[in-house]
């Protein structure tokens, strides 16, 4: 705690200075944590998602979005209407709670009696964020023979609930929400029309038979989308080249007898393979567009690759010396993928990437058998697809060999403890710098020998912040790292020869505890100080191993299972999911990994090495530029900087979690 000269606490720090943000205050204080602030599209999307959820649950056939002349936007649906009776515990109208509480809504009530089985994810912030960031918001809900209306401003009720009986000829059910987004929260108040129309069109694509209309009062234009044919209809209209083989379309969902997945979970997909043109790739989870992809896309890639690979093996089509990789099949694929996942986990507040690990197996388990069957029923098309994939593999291998020849002269002897990979394709290869020999042993056994190399490091690496470049190699570990990756140490203004780089990804893999974090910092210091061009070119990554394992008992038809989670937040979400599946409170056990050495080779592969299910963070300069970052690291890592470090701790000490 900082003290003033007299040794007393600063006088302005008292009970009254601790702020508890109530209701929607946190959203107004930090809108960027809850939504995109470049424009109001995402807050409108929250309202749209609710209308789509009604249609998805089978209760609506029409969604209409109107851009009014006064810059407000309204969304109208013919769903069931939001209930407006009093909530039994909160003693306030339900519709009011939905718009004024961060964690309220029908989507939390999962299971047999829940109103929604599948919905656009569970950040649980939803339309209350739209309300908090709007100057005015009006809701009219029609249900049970009545219409109820209320209005808000900045998240507060300004016109309380009014209920009236419906008149003859009025629509029977549905909700209309009209919002006036508050310009002060957004960089621009204008909605990006291209993104909005794309979003509306995609909703229509994913819900065949539901009509989506956009009315623009200023330009007096109306657009309507209705796709009877669903995904294939849409993909054919957006493709950039001619498909080599007919479109592969399918869908698969778990029934109530499925062992590993909840009833209704699954995917619909349509895939086209073209020889040229930019591939079209769109994926959705519970109708939410996942622009950054995620584990459901990995499942599609996995399913396509394994089906094509088994077809090639069955018909002995692979030329000698050619090794097929997933991207050889995937490179020319255009697709639209719509997955349904119960309680999806997303990365980022606006849900642009799906993180749920089970989604890889879920999608792959439906795609692979369907494509295998199709290819073996249409052998000629199968051979055309195989030809396309083999051609891609040969091109890739030729490119890898060219680089190899250039590097052939005067190669340094690789360090003895490096377990190298078999492939010579730099773009695909990865090296993991692993803390400790025991973890190194598990990693060697669990890795993909083809493309993953392991370099175990003994003990803590030297703090190299103030070490002269030509003295670096006196340290064995650093010498080994430099020789293994094939790049010499350099400064920020040098132009090092990166043609010798042996791995496209250099991954730091350390325990999830305090010592592991220290080793991670020492290695990041080494790369930032002595290999800055590797970071600049995007070759350095940090692997994030899980911190907890949950052993869940058998439940119903689901066998006992082990679930790995990254941190406290994921732990809470996973336990919630178990409760919803009917697991008795406390019948699971939670163990915390002290280190990677505790994991078996299989566990390490599944959680940390497998490209489909691991979490790998690219290392980049954040909001600070190179010079500012350098100054900050000097404070943290410099030898004579104890006073500066102390000041940093005093300023930010309360933001640090201490692991004891």
* Domain-embedded: residue 268: yes
Statement: residue 46 has pLDDT above 90:
no
177 and 249 share a domain? no
Q: How many domains does the chain have?
A: 2
212 and 294 share a domain? no
Confidence of residue 104 (pLDDT cuts 50, 70, 90): low
Q: Does the annotation flag 424 for ligand binding?
A: no
Sheet strands (E) in 96-230 = 134-143, 146-153, 156-165, 174-181, 211-216, 221-225
d(CA 320, CA 330): 21
355 and 246 share a domain? yes
d(CA 606, CA 617): 17
d(CA 355, CA 347): 6
**Averaged pLDDT for residues 58-83:** 92
Does this model's pTM top 0.85?
A: no
Confidence of residue 17 (pLDDT cuts 50, 70, 90): very low
**pLDDT value for 217:** 95
Q: Does the annotation flag 125 for ligand binding?
A: yes
46 and 88 share a domain? yes
- Long-range contacts, stretch 524-528, CB < 8 angstroms, 24+ apart: 524/619, 525/463, 525/464, 525/465, 525/633, 525/637, 526/461, 526/462, 526/464, 526/478, 526/481, 527/619, 528/629, 528/630, 528/633
304 and 242 share a domain? yes
| Residue 287: Cβ-neighbour burial (10 angstroms; 0-12, 13-18, 19+) | buried
93 and 220 share a domain? yes
Q: Does the annotation flag 127 for ligand binding?
A: yes
Q: What angle do CA 226, 53, 41 make, to 5 degrees?
A: 80
Among residues 346, 380, 401, the one where a domain terminates is 401
* Domain-embedded: residue 238: yes
Pairing relationship of beta strands 353-354 and 346-347 according to DSSP bridges: antiparallel
Q: Return the DSSP state at 250.
A: E
pLDDT digits (tens, 9 = 90+) for 345-394: 887 656 778 888 889 999 999 999 999 999 999 999 999 999 999 999 99
Pairing relationship of beta strands 353-354 and 62-67 according to DSSP bridges: unpaired
Q: Cα separations (Å) of 28 from 19, 21, 342, 349? A: 14, 10, 30, 15
Q: Does the annotation flag 156 for ligand binding?
A: no
* Domain-embedded: residue 545: no
Q: At which residue do the structure tokens 């895939």 appear?
A: 271
Size (the chain), residues: 660
**Averaged pLDDT for residues 42-47:** 88
* Domain-embedded: residue 511: no
Q: Does the annotation flag 122 for ligand binding?
A: yes
pLDDT digits (tens, 9 = 90+) for 192-228: 998 899 889 888 988 888 999 999 999 999 999 998 8
Confidence of residue 11 (pLDDT cuts 50, 70, 90): very low
* Domain-embedded: residue 595: no
130 and 277 share a domain? no
Q: What's the CATH number where 195 sits?
A: 3.30.565.10
40 and 108 share a domain? yes
pLDDT digits (tens, 9 = 90+) for 492-534: 888 888 888 999 999 999 887 778 888 999 999 999 999 999 9
Q: Does the annotation flag 85 for ligand binding?
A: no
Q: Does the annotation flag 13 for ligand binding?
A: yes
242 and 156 share a domain? no
114 and 155 share a domain? yes
pLDDT digits (tens, 9 = 90+) for 280-325: 999 998 888 888 899 999 999 999 999 999 999 999 999 998 999 9
Domain that holds residue 303: 230-401
Among residues 401, 422, 451, the one where a domain terminates is 401
Q: Does the annotation flag 479 for ligand binding?
A: no
Catalytic positions are 435, 511, 513, 515
Q: What's the CATH number where 346 sits?
A: 3.30.230.10
**pLDDT value for 594:** 73
* Domain-embedded: residue 17: no
252 and 217 share a domain? no
218 and 71 share a domain? yes
Confidence of residue 14 (pLDDT cuts 50, 70, 90): very low
* Domain-embedded: residue 217: yes
Among residues 167, 195, 225, the one where a domain terminates is 225
* Domain-embedded: residue 552: no
């Amino acid at each position: 705690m900082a003290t003033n000269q007299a040794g007393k606490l600063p006088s302005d720090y008292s009970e009254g200075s601790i702020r508890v943000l109530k209701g929607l205050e946190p959203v107004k204080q930090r809108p960027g944590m809850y939504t995109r602030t470049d424009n109001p599209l995402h807050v409108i999307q929250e309202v749209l998602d609710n209308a789509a959820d009604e249609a998805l649950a089978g209760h609506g056939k029409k969604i209409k979005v109107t851009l009014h002349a006064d810059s407000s936007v309204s969304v109208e649906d013919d769903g069931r209407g939001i209930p407006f009776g009093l909530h039994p515990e909160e003693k306030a109208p339900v519709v009011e709670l939905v718009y004024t509480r961060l964690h309220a809504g029908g989507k939390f009530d999962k299971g047999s009696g829940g109103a929604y089985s599948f919905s656009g994810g569970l950040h649980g912030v939803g339309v209350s964020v739209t309300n908090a960031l709007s100057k005015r918001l009006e809701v009219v809900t029609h249900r049970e023979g009545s219409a109820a209306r209320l209005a808000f401003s900045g998240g507060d009720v300004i016109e309380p609930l009014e209920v009236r009986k419906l008149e003859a000829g009025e629509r029977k059910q549905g909700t209309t929400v009209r919002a006036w987004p508050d310009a002060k929260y957004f960089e621009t108040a204008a909605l990006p029309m291209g993104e909005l129309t794309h979003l509306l069109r995609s909703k229509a694509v994913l819900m065949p038979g539901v009509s989506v209309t956009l009315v623009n009062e200023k330009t007096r234009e109306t657009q309507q989308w209705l796709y009877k044919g669903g995904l294939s209809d849409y993909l054919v209209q957006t493709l950039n080249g001619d498909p080599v083989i007919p479109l592969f379309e399918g869908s698969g969902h778990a029934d109530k007898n499925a062992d590993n997945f909840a009833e209704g979970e699954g995917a619909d997909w349509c895939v086209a393979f073209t020889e040229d043109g930019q591939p079209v790739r769109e994926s959705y989870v519970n109708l939410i567009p996942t622009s950054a992809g995620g584990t459901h896309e990995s499942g599609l890639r996995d399913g396509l690759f394994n089906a094509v690979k088994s077809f090639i093996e069955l018909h002995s089509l692979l030329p000698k010396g050619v090794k097929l990789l997933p991207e050889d099949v995937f490179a020319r694929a255009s697709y639209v993928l719509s997955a349904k996942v119960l309680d999806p986990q997303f990365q980022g507040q606006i849900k642009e990437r799906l993180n749920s690990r089970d989604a890889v197996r879920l999608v792959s388990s439906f795609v692979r058998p369907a494509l295998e069957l199709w290819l073996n029923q249409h052998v000629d098309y199968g051979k055309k697809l195989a030809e396309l994939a083999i051609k891609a593999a040969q091109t890739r291998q030729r490119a890898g060999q060219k680089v190899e020849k250039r590097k052939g002269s005067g190669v340094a002897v690789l360090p003895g403890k490096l377990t190298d990979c078999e492939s010579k394709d730099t773009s695909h290869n990865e090296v993991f710098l692993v803390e400790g020999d025991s973890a190194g042993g598990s990693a060697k056994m669990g890795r993909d020998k083809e493309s993953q190399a392991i370099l175990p490091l003994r003990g803590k690496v030297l703090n190299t912040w103030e070490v002269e470049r030509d003295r670096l190699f006196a340290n064995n570990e650093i010498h080994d790292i430099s020789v293994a990756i094939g790049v010499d140490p350099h400064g920020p203004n040098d132009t090092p020869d990166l043609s010798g780089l042996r791995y496209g990804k250099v991954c730091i893999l350390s325990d999830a505890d305090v010592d592991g974090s220290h080793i991670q910092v020492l290695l990041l210091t080494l790369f930032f100080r002595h290999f800055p061009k590797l970071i600049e070119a995007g070759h350095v990554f940090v692997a994030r191993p899980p911190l907890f394992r949950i052993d869940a008992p058998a439940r119903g038809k689901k066998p006992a299972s082990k679930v790995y989670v990254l941190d406290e937040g994921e732990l809470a979400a996973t336990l919630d999911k178990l409760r919803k599946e009917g697991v008795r409170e406390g019948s699971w056990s939670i163990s915390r990994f002290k280190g990677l050495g505790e994991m078996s080779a299989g566990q390490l592969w599944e959680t940390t090495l497998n490209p489909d299910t691991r979490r790998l963070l690219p290392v980049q300069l954040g909001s600070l530029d190179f010079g500012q970052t350098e100054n900050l690291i000097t404070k943290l890592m410099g030898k004579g900087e104890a006073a500066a470090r102390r000041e940093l701790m005093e300023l930010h000490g309360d933001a640090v979690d201490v692991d004891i």
